[in-house]
Each structure stands twice: as C-alpha cells, then as structure tokens.
A and B are shown apart, each in its own frame.
Chain A
Amino acid sequence: MAVKPVLELKNIRKQFAGKVVLDGIDLEIQKGELVSMLGTSGSGKTTLLNIILGLTSIDSGSIFFEGVDISRTSMKERGFNIVFQDYALFPNLNAYKNIIYGLQNRQNWSGKEEIDELIDFLELREHLDKKIHQLSGGQKQRVALARTLVTKPKILLLDEPLSALDGVIKETIKERIKAITKRYNLTTIIVTHDPEEALTMSDKVMILDQGVVSQYGTPEQVINQPRNGFIEEFILRQLRIKRDNIYGLFQECHA
C-alpha cells in the first residue's frame, strides 16, 4: 500500500496550562488520502488540526512533510490551508473578491483559467456578485473552499465541514468534497465529531480519545475490528441504532 508518507506526525505532545491535551500522537498520511480525525469535544482533535496547520506550537515530537521536518516552520511557510467551520468569509467583500483574496498577495498562485474552472466546478458562477450574507450555507462553504483552493494548498484541512449545513444537503456536500480531493489529488484532513460523517467519506479514520489515538485505520477496519470498548460503545453502537432506524424507516428486513 504505502510508499513514503506525505505527512508524518511523530510522538506529538501538547499541554495547555498544565493540562495534557495531546499525549504522544503518531500519524502517517499518504499523498491524496482523505483522512478524518474523529473525536468528542475535548478529545484534542481541533488542537491537532491547529498543530498541523501551524497555528499552534508543539511541546515535543515532530512533524514531517515529504520527509522534511517542519515542526518549527511557520504557518505561512508550510503552505497548508484550512476551511474553518464557520468559513470565516470576509463580509465586506463579495463572493468573487473573497475567492481571489489571496491573489493580491501572490498572483502566481492560480491563473485566470484555473480560477474559472474552479468556479464552474463548484457551481459558483451565478453567485459571484453576491454579498456573503446573501449566500446559503452550502454556497458559503463552496466560496470558502474556492478561496482556499486558489492558494493551491499542499494539504487541505477542513474543520467540521458539515456541521453548519442543513441536514438535507449534507450528502451532496460529502460527495463534492470527495470529488474535489480526487480531482486535484489533494491530501485532505477533516476534523469531525460525527462518526457517520467520518466513516462514510474518508479513506482512513483516526479516532482520538482524551488526547491519544484510539484507533487509526480504514472505515472497514474500524467497523469490523474495533480496537477497544470506547469505539465499540460510543461509535459502533450509535451507528447501529442509526442503521436500524433507517432500515426501519424503509421497512426493509435486516438480520
């Protein structure tokens, strides 16, 4: 399966005000993989995301990108990018100006055709002149994705990408995120608290519990070989209830 990992975390530790938030995290991600970091609030998943992004410093351990130690590299120089949970779009600018925001700083990030293609791929053409508050949740997210993709991130980070969206469009957005990562061969890391989300859209899932990795593997591995009681209890049981409810709804037989 694996050649050289594109991103590698080794024994990451972090504490805030004496409280250990991450305790010896190891992680390897291959080029083009879509990896979910799944955990409850307080599990340390957002801290880990910020550490990979370069926003939060680590106490010990190291981070390698394509074999190069980037533990002390600044956020800006790492060249990763993130779409925040609330998108952090700039309300004083319209959708288009948000999308091309970064080009004022580096024109060579993306060319005219690339941006045009991105806009069409994300179906944003008709919304370009709109103010941010005129956009729906899904449109906002696509604008935020476009703004981020313009900068050609080496790794794309998504913080709870589905949590601010209406239930009905979640499935569509899942497909779109998968399509983006495939199309641009983007290594993507998603943070989520929703097991269903993590297991249905990612190549691999890392389950965090109280600052340590509970299990890291493909969705099949998690489902079929849960490594401990936490995963069995809090993840699989919820999913089974959900499955039974949906089966019940469609009145299908199940074993």
Chain B
Amino acid sequence: MHKKKPEIRLVLLGILAFFAVFLAAPLGVLLITSLKSANGIDFANYITVLQDKSVVKAIGNSVNISAVAALITTVLAFILAYTVNFTQTANSLKSLIRLGIVVPMLLPSITYGFAIIYSFGKQGLLTKLYGVELFQIYGFQGLLVGYVIYTLPFAFFLLNNSFSYIDKKYLIVSELMGDGFWRSFTNTTVRPLIGTIGGAFVVSFILSFTDFGIPASVGGNYNMIATELYQVMLGAIPDFPNGSVIAMLMLLPAFAGVCFLNYLERFNFAYDTISTTGLPDNKLRDLIFGGASVLLVIAVLAVFLVMFIAPFVKNYPYDMQFSTEFVQNALFNRAMVSVYENSIFVAVAAAVAGTIIAYCAALVNVRSAITKRERIIIDMTAMIANTVPGMVLGLAFLMFFNDSELKGTFLILIISNIVHFFTTPYLMAKNCLSKLNPAWETTGELMGDTWIKTVLRVIVPNSLATIVDMFGYFFINSMVTISAIIFLVTARTALVTSKIKELQHFASFNEIFVLSILIFVTNLVVRLGCDFANKQLSSGTNR
C-alpha cells in the first residue's frame, strides 16, 4: 500500500468525474423527467403509463418470455458446462462446444431474429430440411428461440467458470462411498453450483428482458417492453415523460436482478484447494451428455447457417444459384461501407478509451492507498453501470445531452459504449492487478521511479494479456450492440447495427446478412487476434 500521491488523486478524480457526468447525471435527469408532471413532482406519468393496457401487456410479455427463456437457457447451459467439465467426452468435441457457443456472441442480437426468420419461416432453410414448419416464428416462440440462443453463451461461461472451481476429488470420494449417479450428481455437482445456477438464471433473465434486437426483428405484433420504449421515443414527437417512465420500469427489474445476483454470491462454495484428479468412468454419462451438447451446439450454429448462404445465391430460396451480386452491391455501396467504417471507428475508440479508463479505475482501486469509502464508490459505480440496460442508458444520454454539443456526435456513442460495457473489463483488470506482487510500486519508488513510471515500466507490461482481453471485450461488444446506441445515432453517425434496423423496413435481408457477416468476420478476426497476441505474450514471458 502506498502513500497518497497527487497523481493517484488526479486519476481517481478523473474517473469519478467521468461517471458523475456520464452515468449519475443522465440517470438523475431520467428519474426527474419520469416524476415531473404538470402538477410538479409526483407519480402522474407512472399512472398514465400503467393505465395504458398495451404497456402493461408488454411488461407482462417481457417478464413471461424472459423467465421461460432463462429457465431453458440455464438447463441447456448446465448440460454444456457439465459435458465440458465432468465427462470424458473427446477433447475435440469439448473444443467444438466451447468455440461453437461463442459464435452468437460475435453477432448483434438483431441478426438472430432475421436468421430465425430465414431458418424457420415458411421458406426457411431448416423448415425445408424438415419438411414442416417447426413453430410460429413471430411472437412468443420466435422470441423464445432468439433469447435462448442469445443468453446461452453468457450462462455457459458463468457455469463453466464455477465448474472449474469444484474440487473433483469429491467425485472420487462420492464414488468410493458407493453413491449412485443421482446422489453423486446432486451432492458433488448441483449443490456446490446452486449459487451459480441461480446466477445464470438471473443473468439470462436480465439479458432477455432488456434486449432490443430480438424483439425488434421477430417480435411481430407481440409487444415487449423494449419495443414499446422504442415506439414511444421514436414516434413523430418523442414522448420524454412516458419514455422515461418505461425506462424506469425497465431499470427496476434489472436492478433487482443485480441485487439478487449479489445475494446469490454467498451460496457459492469455496474449496480450499482445487485438485485436478481424473474422473470416474461412466460411458453412459459421457454418451448422453456429450451427444446432447454436440447436438445443441450444432442446432445453434444451424440457425446461423442461413445468413452465410442467403446473400450468396441469386434469389433465396427460389433460385439457389451461386452469386456474389449482393455481396458486391453491398461492398461497393458507399452508404454501406461508411456505416461499417463508422462502426469500426466507434468500436476501436471505445475499446482504447474504455480499456484505459477501466484499467485506471482498477489500478487506483487495488494498488493504491485510497480510502475505503472511495474504494466502495468505484465498485458501486461499476455495479450500477452493469445494472443499467443499454436502452435506458441511451435514453438517459439523449435527455441529458439533448441541448449539448455532444448530441449527434460519434463521441456520445463511444462514451455510451464505454459506460455500458465498463464493468466486465474493470473486474478483469481488478482481478489481474490484485494478483501482481504488491511490493512492485515500493520497489520502483526506491529505484527512483515516479508512480506513473513504475506503472508503465512494470505494472502494464506484466498485465498485457488482460489488457488485450479487455480491449477485445470492449471492441466486440461495441460492434454488436444496438440497445446502447439506438437512441443516439443520427443519419451521419449511423452504425452497422442501426443500419440493419433501418434495412428491416425495406425488407433488405440480403444486405442485412452481408452487414452481419461483416460484423462477424471483423469480430472473429479481433478475437483470434487477441488470442494470438496473448499466446505470443505467454510464450515470450514466464506466465
């Protein structure tokens, strides 16, 4: 721990000022707007909104579908994580599961909907393979499929992480004690994971509840709270009072969910040691879980298959001759290229600036002698940033910066992304920095360094791998988000995801898929680039 240094105070103040202006103030304005009516401060707006049958129905629909989707997702994610961690399925299949499940994360959620339409619609690819329409795509079932695909990777990674902290020795002990499969399963697997299982459910629920892309694409006439908010705000005259009320109603369940997540933390087991013993043999277990998981991943990937086919044929699904006409049209179309450039610019800027801000916040928090209260403030800020749904943040920005220079700029999009995706990279940095030797700053200082100098010469070089991952996280998420930017884009600052939403009106699905492929390929390149960079780093140094 180190004496308070002016440069540390400066970094701390900078971070707190950033979040005061770009998180606290906009949310404050949102809250006040929702409470301000002709008679002063009261709940008149809330009463008006809640008397509107369609809004109440939309909230009900959102809660309903999100809960069902979260339940299905949790079960499926558990099966996947169990297969990867607790079965002797072939390693190549485990890799397939781990990599395949990431694919949807590289795409905007609005694309999922269009992929579902093209896969399961009357003329859909999978419909043709099956010969019958599997389900009604618009409305409940389509939304459900979309949400499950969307939330599955998040739930999987949560569970996968917790699985790796379970001491496998207990499986052997349980087997030696003569437990049958179910007793062993509940005692050594389900029990230690119960907190994370609950967490996976809550995270899936929040993600579905606050997502805009999926209902925007397959919602049809089935109203959800996200689409309701969009309609209220993007009508001929944006309805700020009612919009802010709906945003608050969207924020509350998300807030409750995050609080519940923190509560669930205490159910997590902490084993003293993690031993990596082998697993007991059980061929039937391996076959059932391995088979189910592989089928599941293939099913998810199959939904996206169509978007790689449709734009490459003459007239899907009627004329299936190979053609690059759509791709060429899209890639030589100035308007399309420019939204792509915009997206890249925003994602790179958000990734660079976001990584710096999150890294500094973590650095100040875990490696300097700030007061306990200041530490809590930074952590609370991160938690709140994590709680606020993208659309709510975007709307709050729209209200707070409506009359400012920031309105309609790229900068506001970049900042919105930084705030919206701040928490995960911040926690990554915190985790990494807290593990580095606490005496390095003192040593550097004794060697004549200033604090900044030690940070640049020692701390940063020893946390490069994490910095690369933070960059990748910010970049990929900024590329795929629609909810955080939909209220903030203008014709000049349009991004790929908002362009997709626009193309929907013209039913230009081929262009939509070409743009989605562009995002996908870009994200894939960045992800692989980050992995490659980290591989180089770890072979170059000691870790």
B-binding residues in A (CB < 8 A):
53, 55, 57, 74-76, 80-82, 84, 86, 88, 90-92, 101-102, 104-106, 109, 131-134, 147-148, 151
**B543: CB under 8 A from chain A?**
yes
A-B contact pairs, 5 of them (CB 8 A): A84-B439, A91-B542, A92-B541, A105-B453, A134-B542
Indicate if the CB atoms of A151 and B447 lie closer than 8 Å.
yes
Q: A88-B437, A92-B541 are in contact. Are A82 and B446 (CB under 8 A)?
A: yes
Query: Is the Cβ of B542 less than 8 Å from the Cβ of A88?
Result: no
CB-CB under 8 A from B461, the residues of chain A are 90, 92
Q: Which residue in chain B gives the minimum CB-CB distance to A86?
A: B437
Known A-B contacts A84-B439, A131-B541, A133-B542; the reply to A91 vs B448 at CB < 8 A is: no
Q: Say yes or no: A105 contacts B449, CB within 8 Å.
A: yes
- What are the residues of chain A within 8 A of B448 when measuring CB–CB? 76, 102, 104-106, 109, 151
Known: A92-B461, A131-B541, A131-B542. A84 touches B443 (CB 8 A): yes
Q: Is B442 an interface residue (CB 8 A)?
A: yes
Q: In the complex, what residue of chain A is closest to B450 when comparing beta carbons?
A: A105
B520-543 CB contacts (< 8 Å) to partner A: 541-543
Q: Tell whether B337 is near chain A: CB-to-CB under 8 Å.
A: no
Docked CA distance A86–B438 (Å): 10
A207 CB to nearest chain B CB (Å): 26
**Closest 10 pairs (CB-CB, A-B):** A105-B448, A133-B542, A102-B447, A88-B439, A92-B461, A84-B439, A88-B443, A90-B458, A88-B437, A81-B446
Does the CB pair A91–B447 fall under 8 Å?
no
**B residues within 8 A CB of A91?**
462, 541-543
Question: Which one, A76, A92, A104, A133, contacts B446 given CB within 8 A?
Answer: A76
Closest partner residue, chain A, to B543 (CB atom): A91
A75 B543 Cβ-Cβ under 8 A: no
Q: In chain B, what residue has the closest Cβ to A91?
A: B542
A90 to B542, CA, bound (A): 11
Alpha-carbon distance A241/B159, docked complex (angstroms) = 53
Q: Are A75 and B542 in contact (CB under 8 A)?
A: no
Look across to chain A and name the residue whose beta carbon is closest to the beta carbon of B449: A105
B458, A92: Cβ atoms closer than 8 Å: yes
Cβ-defined contact, A75 with B445, below 8 A = yes
- Point out the residues of chain B lying under 8 angstroms from A82, CB to CB: 442-443, 446
Given A101-B457, A104-B448: 20 more A-B contacts, CB < 8 Å: A53-B442, A57-B3, A75-B3, A76-B446, A80-B446, A82-B443, A86-B437, A88-B443, A90-B440, A90-B457, A92-B458, A101-B444, A102-B448, A105-B449, A106-B448, A131-B541, A133-B542, A147-B447, A151-B447, A151-B448
Chain A residues contacting B458 (CB-CB under 8 Å) are 90, 92
Select one of A80, A88, A131, A134 contacting B440, CB under 8 A.
Answer: A88
Query: How far is it, in angstroms, between the C-alpha of A234 and the C-alpha of B311 when the chains are bound?
Result: 82
Expressed in whole angstroms, the minimum distance between the Cβ of B451 and any Cβ of chain A is: 11
How far apart sit A99 and B3, CA to CA, in the bound complex (Å)? Answer: 25
Smallest Cβ-Cβ distance to A82: which chain B residue: B446
A151 touches B541 (CB 8 A): no
Return chain A residues, CB-CB under 8 Å to B462: 90-92
Contacts of B447 in A (CB 8 A): 101-102, 105, 147, 151
Q: Cβ of B542 and Cβ of A76 under 8 Å apart? A: no
Min Cβ gap A128→B in Å is 16
- Cα distance A208–B466 when bound, in Å? 42
User: Chain A contacts of B2 at CB under 8 A?
Assistant: 55
CB-CB contacts of B103-117 with A at 8 A, as 1s and 0s? 000000000000000
Cβ contacts under 8 Å, B449 to chain A: 105
A75 touches B442 (CB 8 A): yes
B residues near A148, Cβ cutoff 8 Å: 446
Across-interface contacts of B457 in A (CB, < 8 A): 90, 101
B458 nearest CB neighbor, chain A only: A90
- How many angstroms between the C-alpha atoms of A58 and B3 in the bound complex? 13
A133–B444 Cα distance when bound, in Å, is: 19
Q: Which one of B448, B461, B542 has the highest number of Cβ atoms from chain A below 10 Å of its Cβ?
A: B448
Considering only residues 476-513 of chain B, those with a C-beta below 8 Å from chain A are none
How long is the Cα–Cα vector from A131 to B540 in the complex, in angstroms?
Answer: 10
For residue B65, give the distance in angstroms from its CB to the closest CB of chain A: 49
Q: For A102, give the chain B residue with the smallest CB separation.
A: B447
Question: When the two chains form the complex, which single residue of A84, A101, A109, A132 contacts B542, counting CB atoms closer than 8 Å?
Answer: A132
